[in-house]
Structure 1
């Protein structure tokens, strides 16, 4: 897997104490760390979230930047080959072993290659001592014992070329043109981790073996193990096992490559006929700071606050009437080669690049001239403090993966990582000391007029309107010349609700001690189901729903109904408009969103324990006091129209719209987004529909799970949910009768110029819906997925990652949809589809092998162990059962169904459902000459 670059900056630094400003921040005392004589580094930490699990990471300071000119792409190729045969796990026995132990390929065991590092991930259950020992051996083999068998190398060439093919398209073509500029023509510009076709097809085995021999060595490697383990015992095993790793006798120097700062400003403007929007990016490059001492930590907080205030400012500007652009954002972001950046991006309205760019750049100049205001800073501080506080309150439930990422950065970048409690102390020490004046110095460093790149990308039909560098320089000068008005935020002293609701009552309470559920019936008919858990210390999540949804409205009203919830949610609620609401929740840990789907309407969200009552007051406000903002509505619609204006340029969008139309019989409710549909949306009708959908709370059910004290929340629920309005009208969702078409349908879309194809195969039909069948069908899905990985990928080298997905539904009528999806070379489409059909026929004729059923069983059981300790799983499970009219305790029978799955049962299911005559083949091919 290739790691994407230039993601948003992630700076989480933890410290055990609040040291003097020049004191180095030491590593968390809870992690056992050391370096063996051969230079191999390890980090080992006990952590019980999740229980009976551990994360194993092998981190290598080895990436594509180290490749010789004849090795382009081989750092990534090595990553693949470590799974395809090693000293102790020849050929594909490693993955067979892991799958049999319940570890999923891709979802669990995985790896990525970047410019500067290659990282392997292996999550394992810790209640199996043999598996833990084998896991250590697997990591040891990754480190230095890959066989790199020539026959396996040749098989893997096709897989990697297919992975490379998936990335081809307009974005890749444009990046190939502007990366040299962005990377200042440094070595990074010529070391894309995916490599080149010529080398991937033709390199000799000796060339990749040389790369592995030179760079996979203990002085460039670290093992990170975090989880429910005996850290002392694991440390002794690591010391004993990894001591035999050897550095090369003639050791190549590991050069730390950088991107030089030239002081020059650069410009490039590009078009591509498959691009659907005009985007201008301004990238100001800067030497990245090192986070090592307490003094650095204050600077880190200043940068985090800067990003937060800037994001809030652009969000508020986007909600003002008739913004000059579709969207804009800016902030300090991570980069490569020892640099970070100030990066500002504007997505222009069609034909209005100049207007949008000047509006975005004006904000940069206004910021430099006038800075932020006290209100902005105070809100950002409160928001950051709340985020830190929530992490601190959950410190004993911090997932192991979070610790892994800290130690990974410590090893690769020497970023400090000393512990959650310490960071909380540092935050409380330094946050109050930060003043508005601190941001002037930050902007002097980052918002300079040199080391600045401007990159413009646009659709081909905008070529004639693209500016030259000199013209953009004039735009910048024009923005500087605009009279600077201090940024003002709308403030309001109004409360969320004009008047407090008259509380209802809890009229009945029933406990199910076996399932840990409490059911409350409120005086207005609202049903509340609560499952208290201890999975998190400070998390409550919920969903409320009732039947009806968009199914109750005719096709003419469908666009208004489908957009009603998003329109109302964007406008503000109660006494607060959108900007006032944003400030209202700035220092709170909560989220509340109304929704209207096809068969249900409701509200979903979550909060901290402290903010639960505020969240419930927002639920009450959204369901009873929505706002109608015509100005914001117009902005939303104009923005959406502009986004759809060039939608037909993008091959993926055209293909996806075709898929939706075919599977939905061209019904307006199934086809893709369009300007025509937007033109059917009416604000007044959307508002009316929204009010109608939430008029009768008596038919609503709310499900809550998390760190809930029932006695504490009952009066809150009675006040805000028990006071919701009730009518005598109870709606039921309608059957719209829009099934996937029966029979055989073949459709090919010709769009795009890259030599690549996308394939979607659809099996569908009527279905005998029950929990046992659902589980057996999942077994059928996964065993087919395993076989397609073996055939399409490993045997035929024709795809990178085939995907088999299953959807079953009880309402409006019991149906199933099983899809097979993959990308490949156009020349291989028919052959690979034939392979899929052969595998499906084999399932119907013979059933899956017992070995593949056993792999699925192990994966299912291990995943369910994790699911049962996650609040989101319980929320989704309970809501699904309630909406389907099934019993919440059904899950207790699931493992018995899993254990009883047999080849004969799955054969019968495959014959019944996958050989019913319904088969749809949808293919995207490049445009024909």
Structure 2
């Protein structure tokens, strides 16, 4: 467990943009003004790194870290960390760091333009999941997840990274071609929340370079950047002394080390170092207010924050333990905010606190809350009161006791599940830690370091740590749906007046919450008797039945040590929905209500010492609880499941909160083309069937708490259960717990039946969306088939992958008209014959209609033509690699095999054929499916346009603006689908 998870960093969604001889010499850390780091954080301090790590430094300054790891089996994560990003750009280069990141996929010394992605696909690596990159303020990171750890692929992977480091071709024609993709990415990432975040950075960090450097860059630079500009940045900052190679995975350390030396040893460093940027400083005194009207956000966001200047410091034991204290304090404040949010009549719909150090130079603390526009003043006053209570009165011993339990449970969970960590995830954490000059510790080291300190931590120490996170500077902000325009005081003056009045108000004390006890239900009066078990030898699983009808599916695995996953399935789910919207509200209401004897916040407090989770969902044909726990938490997980089933709660105050959240969510969705696709598009593709997509808000607002309880409570208490458990567990214990806690009588339920879905073949849905975001959505869909012919469903997935790859080349690479077109097939498990294959993209509004025609054309060409073996290989090899990884996860065995296997026994056969069946796919099979399903007359089209389209971006594709008139509206709502 990394303690930075307790004090969350700024949302990564907006910080990141996707797309030799060992030396033991100890280096002195560079001065704070330098942007060049040498040596390793542990060289001069009292913390030792994870002993599994091997560190090295080449003569040219390239550093490397190597760590053996067994999951995923036979795979290796290779990362090239360049310690330079948007902060290192000049004014004339704004956007060059990210532009350059794109260009390194478009021609290097050993991989000409257009060849690298296809090479990755041919060896079983998916573009995106297995090969990607991101650019941030102070780093650019290139990521490979190799299909195996043998010498051949490790050698080739490091050759690719070395090409990134020093072999960029930066051909002018490729720079020009990539321009449209960069602009499309900028447009695609635009959103209300993105604009609010950008304003937060500009306002909160005013005076620093961070406030001036939006990572993706400026339109002015992006539309004029040429090869010379990019090469200038490349030569300045892509130098051995700013590079770290990270290799984590199922390979030999000696082999990885030798190949790193081979490929990175020859790199040369320029003698003259570039000038490091002046980071700047924030103002440290006074109060500032900021207001941002952003109706598309769907809610009003209130913020209280503080910022202060600091200097980079070594990650010593003292610094680490100080972070622990700050993390515990943050946990306590977040617990208070959760309690306030769940309190009856609260103006808040969510609230959280985070604190961190930005790039070692600026500290920041922030309390953020969502509310409605009409309750902004009450929300701001409540945030201020909560902060004052914590700063002036401090926290209480019971709060510290709970926070210690929560932090300790995270430490233990990380240590006990360390063996199941994935190599690419470890590599990403190592890069993050090293770029923050922190010593990478193993989870066990963290437990040994922080555990005793946590136990000895006093309330006085935590209170003092919390106060240190709130120096004099205050920032007050309101953003979103709140409208403070009009005559009289300015919006900022009104915010300041409310804040100052709240500061002067009488300080009301924080009211402590009574300590809750769990479990609270009496021991069950009767246990079920085990009537027999049937072994499924081919897949190493077992199904046991009990005298009351309980079914228990079990599969023990060893690839995620000390962890188990559980699913409890009952009832008919969406098939039993008597009124549209019951499922949507029930999924939110049940967890929000807690359980019978404990409300949501009391339950959280009572479970503080555990790390397990248990979530509720409504599937096409069943209700489901899904959980994940450590092996040592097996019984508490079963106890919580029993409470959820036997003693559910349907609280009126929780229902009111859920409705407020729903209204805010719908308002946000209605203000973006992506949201309207869910609200309208998916239901259109299902012929208006109410089980598909989201119901109209008006339908949800008419539903009552009594109707939800009347629909769900009988299923929770009475419907027969099928429980599946996968992972590292004690089988005898699980059998006894299932018999003990679920031994009462339950009546069986008949399996529900679906209906025929009328796909809107040949129809179009074209809508205008009231939004300030200048992008459109175009989608073309074709009817396919239902789920249960598994060989067909697998091949439909391959067909989608083939079409996806064609669109990548045609729409993204050739036209530069969309950043990430994607294709996926979704087949129903309940409605006979129903499935939909979709091709979706986000585009410049003037191009949407023509790009929809391009999607149609791509489908028609695939239906009328052939699939080459080369195309199939590019689509299929990454799939086969993914399958090899997937079958070694508990999630696969739970969700794809055991769950509902009593209803669908064929699930138990699927693992025996999944790898061989996919490997046997032939080009002519995919071509035949295309010919059957992708006929032009079967296609349906969705075009969603912003109400006031923005001026057309410069897209080097020569696509004329679309002139199609609006078609008649159809359908009313939609459901989100997975992206490949």
Q: TM-score, normalised by structure 1?
A: 0.93
Listed one character per residue, the Cα deviations across residues 400-421 of structure 1 (whole Å, up to 9, x for unaligned) are: 2343234313431211213333
Equivalent residue number for residue 112 of structure 1: 134
Deviations 1:262-310 (A, max 9, x none): 4343222121343422212222113467461111122111121112112
Q: Which residue of 2 aligns with 1:831?
A: 850
The aligned residue for residue 809 of structure 1 is: 828
Contact conserved, 1:744 with 1:917, CA < 8 A, in 2? Answer: no
What does residue 971 of structure 2 align with?
Answer: none
Residue 404 (structure 1) aligned with residue 427 (structure 2): yes
Aligned length: 910
For the 8 Å contact 1:846–1:903, the answer to whether it is kept is: no
- CA deviations 1:119-153 (Å, max 9, x no partner) are 01001133443221110100100011010011111
Aligned to 1:84: 106
Match for residue 707 of structure 1? 728
1:899 CA drift (Å): 2.7
Q: Which moved more, 1:829-838 or 1:707-716?
A: 829-838
Task: Give the counterpart of 2:929 among 905, 909, 914.
Answer: 909
The answer for the alignment partner of 1:95 in structure 2 is 117
SS in 2 for 1:576: coil
**Mind listing any 5+ residue stretches in structure 1 that lack a counterpart?**
8-19
Q: Provide the C-alpha distance between the structure 1 equivalents of 2:309 and 2:696, rounded to a whole number of angstroms.
A: 44
* Residue 553 of structure 2 is aligned to residue 522 of structure 1: no
Q: Tell me the secondary structure at the aligned position of residue 937 of structure 2.
A: coil
1:511–1:258 distance in 2 versus 1, CA, 3 Å: farther
2:570 matched residue in structure 1: 546
CA 1:896–1:301 in 2, change beyond 3 Å: closer, same or farther?
same
**Corresponding position of 2:860:** 841
CA contact (8 A) 1:524 1:697 kept: no
Deviations 1:608-667 (A, max 9, x none): 212211211222222121123223333333443455467644554345322134224445
1:504 to 489, 508, 528: 528
Tell me the residue number matched to 2:328.
Answer: 305
What is the Cα deviation at residue 771 of structure 1? Answer: 1.6
The alpha-carbon distance between structure 1 residues 448 and 659, as it changes in their structure 2 partners (threshold 3 A), is same
Pick one of 508, 511, 518 that aligns with 1:487.
Answer: 511
Matched, 1:919 2:935: no
- For structure 2, the 5+ residue unaligned runs are 1-10, 17-41, 950-980
Distance 1:564 1:171 in 2: 27
For 1:381 and 1:922, the matched residues in 2 are separated by 52
> How far 1:871 moved relative to its partner?
0.5
- After TM superposition, give the deviation of residue 97 of structure 1 in Å: 1.1
Structure 2 matches for 1:127-526, cutoff 5 A? 127-174=149-196, 177=199, 179-255=201-277, 257-287=279-309, 290=313, 292-336=315-359, 338-450=361-473, 452-459=474-481, 461-464=483-486, 468-480=491-503, 481-493=505-517, 495-526=519-550
Post-superposition offset of 1:387: 1.4
Which of 50, 56, 68 lines up with 2:90 in the alignment?
68
**Distance in 2 of aligned mates of 1:609 and 1:5:** 36
Task: Give RMSD over aligned pairs.
Answer: 2.6
Equivalent-residue separation in structure 2 for 1:178 and 1:573 (angstroms): 38
Q: Which moved more, 1:729-738 or 1:510-519?
A: 729-738
Which residue number in structure 2 is paired with residue 534 of structure 1?
Answer: 558
Post-superposition CA distance 1:515-536 (Å, at most 9, x none):
1111110110111110011122
CA distance in 1, matches of 2:305, 2:45: 33
Which residue of structure 2 aligns with residue 747 of structure 1?
Answer: 766
- How much has 1:100 moved relative to structure 2? 0.3
| Offset from partner CA, 1:150-199 (integer Å, 9 cap, x none) | 11111101111110111234345555555432221332232212112222
2:841 to 814, 822, 833: 822
Cα distance in 2, alignment partners of residues 379 and 144 from structure 1: 52
Alpha-carbon distance in structure 1 between the residues aligned to 2:837 and 2:943? 16
Q: Using the alignment, how far apart are the partners of 1:776 and 1:842 within structure 2?
A: 18
CA separation of 1:112 and 1:357: change in aligned 2, threshold 3 A: same
Q: CA deviation at 1:45?
A: 1.4
Q: CA deviation at 1:512?
A: 2.3
Indicate if the aligned counterparts of 2:328 and 2:403 stay in contact, CA closer than 8 A: yes
- Give the one of 753, 758, 761 matched to 2:780: 761
Deviation, structure 1 residue 68: 1.9
SS in 2 for 1:195: coil
Distance in 2, matches of 1:412 and 1:527, equals 50
1:496-895 equivalences under 5 Å are: 496-555=520-579, 558-560=580-582, 562-641=584-663, 644=666, 648-670=670-692, 672=694, 674-698=696-720, 700-721=721-742, 723-727=743-747, 730-766=749-785, 769-879=788-898, 882=901, 883-895=903-915
Counterparts in 2 of 1:176 and 1:350: CA distance versus 1, 3 Å: closer
Change in Cα spacing, 1:406 to 1:927, as seen in structure 2 (3 Å) is closer
Counterpart Cα distance in 2 of 1:671 and 1:420: 42
Distance in 2, Cα, partners of 1:784 & 1:500: 55
Q: CA deviation at 1:600?
A: 0.8
- Distance, in Å, in 2 between the alignment partners of 1:181 and 1:29 is 43
2:45 & 2:507 partners in 1: Cα distance? Answer: 45
CA 1:677/1:891 → structure 2, altered by over 3 Å: closer, same or farther? same
Measure the CA separation in 1 of the matches of 2:910 and 2:668. 48
Q: SS in structure 1 opposite 2:296?
A: coil
8 Å Cα contact 2:349-2:657 kept in structure 1: no
8 Å CA contact retained: 1:291, 1:415: yes
Q: CA deviation at 1:39?
A: 0.9
Structure 2 distance, partners of 1:705, 1:265, is: 54
Aligned pair in 2 of structure 1 residues 606, 337: CA closer, same or farther (>3 Å)?
Answer: closer
Q: Residue deviations 1:833-886, cap 9 Å, x none?
A: 333223222221222221011122211221111111110111111146725442
Whether the 8 Å contact between 2:787 and 2:828 is mirrored in structure 1 is no
CA shift at 1:538, angstroms?
1.7
Distance between the aligned counterparts of 2:279 and 2:126, measured in 1?
Answer: 35
With 655-664 and 68-77 compared, the bigger mean Cα shift is at: 655-664
The DSSP-based 3-state class of the residue aligned with 1:418 is coil
Give a deviation string over 1:2-43, Cα, whole Å, max 9, x none.
Answer: 964579xxxxxxxxxxxx9x9521333321112111111111
Q: Say if 1:332 and 1:124 are closer, same or farther in 2 by CA, change over 3 A.
A: same
Contact kept in structure 2, 1:317 and 1:323, CA below 8 Å: yes
Separation of aligned partners in 2, 1:369 and 1:260 = 25
- 3-state DSSP of counterpart to 2:781: strand
Deviation larger for 612-621 or 655-664: 655-664
Matched residues in 2 for 1:570 and 1:171: separation?
A: 25
Conservation of the 8 A alpha-carbon contact between 1:496 and 1:576: no
* Cα 1:109/1:839, change in 2 over 3 Å: same
Aligned to 1:16: none
Over 3 Å counting, the alpha-carbon distance change for 1:233 and 1:638 in structure 2 is: closer
Task: Please state if 1:121 is matched with 2:143.
Answer: yes
Preserved contact between residue 575 and residue 620 of structure 2 (Cα < 8 Å): yes
Offset of residue 373 of structure 1? 1.1
